[in-house]
Amino acid sequence: MIGAIYKRLEKDRRNQMTIKGPNLQRSDPKLSDRIIHPLFVRITHWINALAVFIMIMSGLKIYNASPIYPLQFPPDITLGGWLAGALAWHFAGMWLLAINGIAYLVYGVLSGHFWRSLIRFQPMAAYRNIRLELKRLILHGTGEYNPVQRVLYTAVIWIVILLVFSGLTMWKPVQFQSLAHFFGGYDQARKIHFFAMLGLALFTLIHVSIAMAVKGTIESMFTGRLAQKPPKKTGAPK
């Protein structure tokens, strides 16, 4: 459903909007060579995608062993077959998630990727028209994260950090007892871990829906370059 709404918005944009922005002239050969997703971000993104699927699917199986709420997850969306298998997946997947995540965070800080893509907002100010600004709020495929993307991507980074630390608390409530104290004990950490997982699952749902609805976004997450589009007669700048 999110995908359908998004498709309409994108169609609307293509048909009606003419933005004189530097990033929208997709047929410009120089721009088509430009790397919009750095290789490091692409690699860590897909490793992270795999790790998140392993962690969520095995986590749901672990949850089912002793549900906190009157709610069980269907076995078809779980990983590991039984509790020991799910735990083995979860405690193997955690290394993939953590090492890849730390690499991404270090890269993000040192390369300036976080500053450029998530924090700095100046390019936005270039647009005078408030209507365009609003449209731009959800504009995809320009090689720049739009404001909603910035907020969501920043939020999901913090959600994963919360998942890692609440998870460490559940894994070692005695050895990491200052962490356990911070989260209010083992049982509390378990609830926080659960709700953070729901947040991550919701993000993934929105993220994947939009990526599938907006043509070329998945492709450019592999190639790193803007997906090539023929210039539209209705919308292309002259």
Partner 1 sequence: MSAGNPKNPKISLRDFRPQISRIERRLFLKQGLSLGALTMLSGCTLKDDDAVDKLLWAMSRWNDRVQAAIFDPAKLARTYSEGDITEPFPFNAYYEQPMAPVIYGPDYQLELGGLISDKRPWRIERLRELPQTSQITQHICVEGWSAIGKWGGVAFKTFLERIGADTTAKYVGFKCADRYSTSIDMPSALHPQTLLTLDFPGQPGETKYGFPVKVRVPTKLGFKNPKYVTEIFVTNDNPGGYWENMGYNWFSGS
Binding site for partner 1 (CB under 8 A): 27, 32, 50, 53-54, 57, 62-63, 65-66, 68, 78-85, 87-89, 91-92, 95, 172-175, 177, 180, 186-187, 190, 212, 215-216, 218-219, 222, 227-228, 230
Q: How far is the CB of 82 from partner 1 (least distance, A)?
A: 6
CB-CB contact of 200 with 56 (8 Å): yes
Q: How far is the CB of 95 from partner 1 (least distance, A)?
A: 7
CB-CB contact of 166 with 187 (8 Å): no
41/136 with CB nearer partner 1: 41
Terminus-to-terminus CA distance in the chain, angstroms? 35
Q: How far is the CB of 34 from partner 1 (least distance, A)?
A: 15
Q: How far is the CB of 79 from partner 1 (least distance, A)?
A: 5
| Nearest to 69, CA basis, from 167, 173, 183, 197 | 197
158/222 with CB nearer partner 1: 222
Q: How far is the CB of 105 from partner 1 (least distance, A)?
A: 21
Q: How far is the CB of 54 from partner 1 (least distance, A)?
A: 8
Spatial separation of the C-alpha atoms in residues 159 and 167, rounded to whole Å: 12
53/158 with CB nearer partner 1: 53
The CA dihedral of 103, 175, 52, 225, to the nearest 10 degrees, is -10
97/114 with CB nearer partner 1: 97
The residues with which 35 forms a beta bridge, in sequence order, are 225
13/229 with CB nearer partner 1: 229
57/197 with CB nearer partner 1: 57
Q: How far is the CB of 156 from partner 1 (least distance, A)?
A: 19
Site of tokens 């997450």:
221
Backbone phi and psi for residue 129, each to the nearest 5 degrees, phi listed first: -75, 120
Site of tokens 């005695």:
174
85/123 with CB nearer partner 1: 85
Query: Angle formed by the axes of helices 39-65 and 186-213, to 10°?
Result: 130
CB-CB contact of 206 with 2 (8 Å): yes
Q: Under 8 Å CB-to-CB from 40, ≥6 apart: which residues?
A: 103, 104, 107, 111
